[in-house]
Structure 1
C-alpha cells in the first residue's frame, strides 16, 4: 500500500483499527478462536488479520440475530428499503477502496474487481424494491371467511459464501434476505474475508442497519456446520463446491432446514457450423479464462463443429498464448493468480493427468507459482479428467462434433447443469437448447453472465435450482408462506 493509499484509508470505510483481527457479533470483537492472516495470492504478502470465530461465537450471534429480527420485520417497508438504497449508494461511493482489496486479497484483475462492486450496488438497489413487492394472494374459501396466503420473513438466514467472487456472492443473498425482514449470519471464505465479509458489514453499518441484524462469523467447515445446526437459523444460502454443498444439504435436512445450494459446473459451449470461428474463440476464451477460470459458470467444455475445429483451436490457442499473467496489484494483466496452492495442485493434476491420458496441449499447461498459464487441450476423449471434472482453473478443453445429435449427447453427458452457451444460427441453437438440461442458457453468448434481477441457479450437481436473483426467486428463498383467515364473528363448532 502506498503512502497515499494508507492516508486515505484512515478516513475510509475499511479503516483497519475498527475491524482488524476481529469478527462481528453485535459489535466488532475478538473471536474466541483467535486470528488468521490474510495473504495476497499475487504477492504472498500478509495483508492483515481477521478474527476467527468459535462455535460459541456462532451460537451467540444466532441468538442475538433472532432477537433483532423480530423488530426489523415489524419495520415499515420504507424503513427497510431506505437502508438497502443507502447501501447501494455506499458501494458506489467506496468502490475504489473495496476494489483495492478485491485485487490483492482475491487476485482479481481490475475489471473483475470493478464488476464486483458494481454488482454489489445493483444487488442492493434491486433488493430495495422487495419490501414493497406484493407479498401474498387472496384465496377462495368454502367457509364464511376471508382467506389469504401471505409471505412472512423466514427469520435468521445463514449465508455461506466462496472465495472466487467473494463480494458479489455474499451480497446477492445478504441484501434480499435483509430487505425481506430477516436477520443474517454471514460466513465468507476465510481466504477472502475482508472483501467478502468485513466490507459487507461496514457498508451496512454505515447504511444504518440496526444492530444485531447482520453478524460476521469467520472460520472453516466447523463454523459452517455451526451455522447450519443453530436452532435460530431457518434457511441456509450456500455457494461453493458440489462436495461441500452435499454436506451442507445433508446437515440441513437432518435439522429440517431449507438449504439453497449454488454449486459447481462444467458448462458446455457449443459452436455450430457457420459460426464465425474468430468471434467464437473470443467468446470461448472469455468463458474459460476470466478470473483464472475460477467461476462456477466457466466454460469447461468447448464443443466445436468439425468444419470449424481447426480454425477455432488455432484462434483460442493464440489468444491463450498472448494473454498476460501476473500480479494484478502491480501489473496490467489479463489473468491473476489462483487463490492458493491447494487450488494450484488441483488444476495442475487435472491438466497433467489429461495429457498423460493422451490429450494434446495446444497452449499453456505450465505455471509459475500460483500463476497458471491459460491452457488449451485437444485430442480429448470423454473419460479424461479435464472433460469430466470441474477444473476451476484457466483451462479450455476442446472437442469436435460432426452432427447436432452428437453435440447434444456430449452436452447432456455431464452431471452438472448450470450454464450453457450456443454460438451460431439461432433456430438450430434453440432446438439444441430445448433438449439440454441447464439452469441458464445463452444463445450467441458464452457461459458466464449474471444480473441482479435475473433468477440464477443450476440443476443436477450444480445445485437446487434458481434460488438467487429476481423478485420471485428471492421471495421464495427468504420467506415462508403462511395461511391466514379472518371471519366477521367467532365460528360455531359442534363441541
Structure 2
C-alpha cells in the first residue's frame, strides 16, 4: 500500500490537509518508519465537518431504507474484497500480527453486515390512547449527527462498530481517530463508505491533536451523541463535557478483567484460553485478561502449564505470519509496561517468567503469587503482563474479581455450567464468558461495562437505541370534548 495517498483527510466532502499549523508523523510501531505525515485539523475544520454532515444527513435520511441498506451492504462487500489490503494496513500502522489483523478485519465485516439490517429496524408503532378518538403513533428517527472518538488498539473494528450503525440508522458522522492510527481508525473507513455510495460529506475525519480539537469535537452544538472508546480518565472528561452540553454519551472505557479458574475446570482448556485472552495483540485490548484467579488446589499445575504454553508463542516481527506477539504501539506504552512490572516486583510478586525488551517488542511476563491489593492488580494493564492470583474458595474468587473499580468483562472456567453461571451472576461486569476467554464481541450482542468501564452498550438493538430518538405523534380522529366547554 502506498501510504502517501493518506496524507489528506475527508473534511466536509473534500479530501484535503487540515488547517492547523501542526504536523504529525504516523509511524510503524515495529520499524519506526514514517508511513505518512499529516498537516493536522483545527477548530475551523471541525466546524466545517459538522455543518456539512448536518446538511448532507437530510439527503441521506430521505433515501429509502432499502437504498441505505444496499449502500451499507456494499461497504461490507468492498471490505471483504480489500481484506488483504486492510490486514496489511493494520500490520503496518498498529503492529498487529497476522492473526490479530485477520480477526479485526473479519469482525469489521461482520459489524457492517449487522448494521445493514438496521434501516429495516427503525420500527414505527401505533398505540392506543386513554383519550376517546385518539391514535398514538411512535416514530424512531436518527439523532442527526454522531461524533465518534476511538482508540488505537483495534482501530478498524472499534471505529466501525460506531460508524456503521450510525450511518445505517440515518445519521451523519464526524470521526476523531486516535493519533497513532488515523488511517485504519478513520480515513480508510471513510473511503470505504464513500466508495460504497454514501453522499460526500456524510462522514468527515478529523485528524488533530487533542489539545487543539479534542474538546471542540465534543462541545460543538451539532452532534447529539458522542461515542467514545478509550481510557477511563479521558472518558470521564468527555462524559462531563457531553453532560454540560446535554448530549448523550456512550462510553466504552478501561477494564481490569478477571479470568476465574475454579477447582473443577478443564485445566488444558483454561490454560490455552488464558494465553490467547491475555496475549492477543500483546495484551493491548480493553477486554484482555488482566487478573488470572486460580483455585489454590490447581494453582501449581496451572502456572506450570501456562508458562509452557506462553513460552511457545513466537515473539517479534509482525510481518512474519507465525509471529503471535508483536510490538507495543509506541515507546511510551513500552515504558509504562516496564514500570508496571517493576511495581509488581517491589510489591512482592514473583517473576515466574521474565520478559525481554527489544525496541517496542516486549515478550511475555508472568507474575505469580500476586495479591489483589497490590497496585499492579488494581490497574488496567495494556501490555503482555499476566498476573496470577491464588484463592482458597469460590467465594474468595468472586470477591477478588469484584474488588476493582472496573467492570467490563470476565471469564469463569468450571466443568459445571450451572456452577459457573451462579458465579457469573455475582460478577459486577457487563459481560461474562463461561469456559472461554474474555476477548469476545459479537455484532448483535450487548457490548459494554459497569462501574468505571463505561456507560451504554454497543451492538444490536442497544446501539440502535443509542443512535436514534423517538417521537410521539398523536392524531385526534374524533372531535374531543374539553372540560371547560362541556
How high is the TM-score relative to the length of structure 2? 0.96
Indicate which of 315, 320, 327 corresponds to 2:317: 327
SS in 2 for 1:427: helix
Give runs of aligned pairs for residues 40-55 of structure 1, distance below 5 A. 40-55=28-43
Equivalent-residue separation in structure 2 for 1:291 and 1:18 (angstroms) = 27
The equivalent residue for 1:338 is 328
The equivalent residue for 2:302 is 312
Give runs of aligned pairs for residues 199-218 of structure 1, distance below 5 A. 199-218=188-207
Equivalent-residue separation in structure 2 for 1:16 and 1:434 (angstroms) = 48
How many angstroms does 1:428 deviate by?
Answer: 1.4
The equivalent residue for 2:153 is 164
Indicate which of 351, 359, 364 corresponds to 1:361: 351
SS in 1 for 2:454: coil
Relative distance call for 1:283 and 1:16 in structure 2 (3 A) is: closer
8 Å Cα contact 1:303/1:407 also seen in 2: yes
How many angstroms does 1:20 deviate by?
Answer: 1.9
340-349 vs 130-139, which moves further: 130-139
The equivalent residue for 2:432 is 441
Indicate which of 393, 409, 423 corresponds to 2:413: 423
Q: Deviations over 1:217-273 (max 9, x none)?
A: 112324231111110011000000111100100000001100000001011011011
Q: Deviations over 1:44-66 (max 9, x none)?
A: 11111234110110011111111
SS in 2 for 1:190: coil
8 Å Cα contact 2:293/2:388 also seen in 1: yes
58-67 vs 33-42, which moves further: 33-42
Q: Deviations over 1:412-469 (max 9, x none)?
A: 1111111110011212111111111111111110111111121100010110132x11
SS in 1 for 2:278: helix
Equivalent-residue separation in structure 1 for 2:189 and 2:8 (angstroms) = 16
Give runs of aligned pairs for residues 244-393 of structure 1, distance below 5 A. 244-330=234-320, 332-393=322-383
The equivalent residue for 1:228 is 218
8 Å Cα contact 2:11/2:48 also seen in 1: no
The equivalent residue for 1:452 is 443
The equivalent residue for 2:66 is 78
The equivalent residue for 1:154 is 143
SS in 1 for 2:180: helix
Indicate which of 47, 52, 57 corresponds to 1:59: 47
Asked whether 1:193 is paired with 2:193, we answer no
Asked whether 1:464 is paired with 2:452, we answer no
Q: Which runs of 5+ in 2 are unaligned?
A: none
8 Å Cα contact 1:50/1:193 also seen in 2: no
Equivalent-residue separation in structure 2 for 1:409 and 1:16 (angstroms) = 49
SS in 2 for 1:42: coil
How many angstroms does 1:491 deviate by?
Answer: 5.4
Q: Deviations over 1:131-175 (max 9, x none)?
A: 011523322212221102221100100000100000000011000
160-169 vs 42-51, which moves further: 42-51
354-363 vs 25-34, which moves further: 25-34
How many angstroms does 1:36 deviate by?
Answer: 1.9
What RMSD in Å do the two structures reach over aligned CA positions? Answer: 1.6
Equivalent-residue separation in structure 1 for 2:90 and 2:96 (angstroms) = 6
Relative distance call for 1:65 and 1:492 in structure 2 (3 A) is: farther
8 Å Cα contact 2:10/2:203 also seen in 1: no
The equivalent residue for 1:93 is 81
8 Å Cα contact 2:4/2:35 also seen in 1: no
SS in 1 for 2:437: coil
Equivalent-residue separation in structure 2 for 1:146 and 1:437 (angstroms) = 43
How many angstroms does 1:318 deviate by?
Answer: 1.9
Asked whether 1:413 is paired with 2:403, we answer yes
Between Structure 1 and Structure 2, how many residues are aligned? 480
The equivalent residue for 2:423 is 432
Equivalent-residue separation in structure 2 for 1:401 and 1:99 (angstroms) = 41
